[in-house]
Amino acid sequence: MNDVLTLYPGGYPVHIDVPQRQVDGAGTALRFALPPRGVNFPLSHAHETKLVVALEGSLALRTGANEPRPLLRPGEAMLLEAGTAHRIAQYGDRPALVGIALWPGAVEEAFRLLERMVAQRGFEHAAVAALFARYGVRWDAAIVSGGHAAALDVTSFRAAARALPPALRERLADCWREWLPPA
């Protein structure tokens, strides 16, 4: 059983598939659906490496304002090194299911605190940005208005998963087997 968080009023639920406590803090993994034309928050993580996986549908990844946007199709992934500003968008005419792994996993606590904060007082951009900043996560508007592009490679989830901490890799292979082809 996973935890389900709501990080934005009326927004899509975020499923914590691998809580950091299950892998001794080595990482965390979550998934969420993006409807047609849906996007996530524009972020950069100072401390975490991030694996982005298209579990269903297609995704476009933006890492700068004007660069070509790499497309991820089901089962494809991209690794984002710490400090890479990014924004994930649904691509095409069907909803997309996004898988995310972050390591190390302490940033998961920011998401849990955000859910409580939003439930108590709604979504306030400045408060969310301040909360994220405490965890080394920057709400990065530069992605939208003229950020620096990073060169990123699209690969299979299986190939990208080799970069994950072993405990997180094993749990993810089990949690996401419904969407990902066997090795």
DSSP string, 74-128: TTEEEEE-TT--BEEEEESSS-EEEEEEEES-TTHHHHHHHHHHHHHH---HHHH
pLDDT for res 116: 93
One digit per residue, the tens of pLDDT, for the chain of length 183 reads 569 998 888 878 999 999 999 999 999 999 999 999 998 888 899 999 999 999 999 999 887 655 657 799 999 999 999 988 888 999 999 999 999 999 999 999 999 999 999 999 999 989 999 999 999 999 875 665 444 445 678 999 999 999 999 999 999 988 998 887 665
Contacts of 166 (CB under 8 A, 6+ apart): none
Neighbour-count burial of 111, counting CB atoms closer than 10 A to its CB (0-12 exposed, 13-18 middle, 19+ buried) = buried
pLDDT for res 11: 79
Answer yes or no: are the C-beta atoms of 148 and 64 closer than 8 Å. Answer: yes
- Residue 24 Ramachandran class (φ > 0 left, ψ -120 to 50 alpha, else beta): left
Determine the Cα angle at 156 with ends 51 and 17, to 5°.
45
pLDDT for res 63: 79
Q: Would you mind telling me the total number of residues written for the chain in this entry? A: 183
Provide the CATH topology of domain 3-174.
Jelly Rolls (2.60.120)
pLDDT for res 147: 43
pLDDT for res 70: 79
pLDDT for res 26: 96
Give the start-to-end residue ranges of the domains of the chain: 3-174
pLDDT for res 146: 45
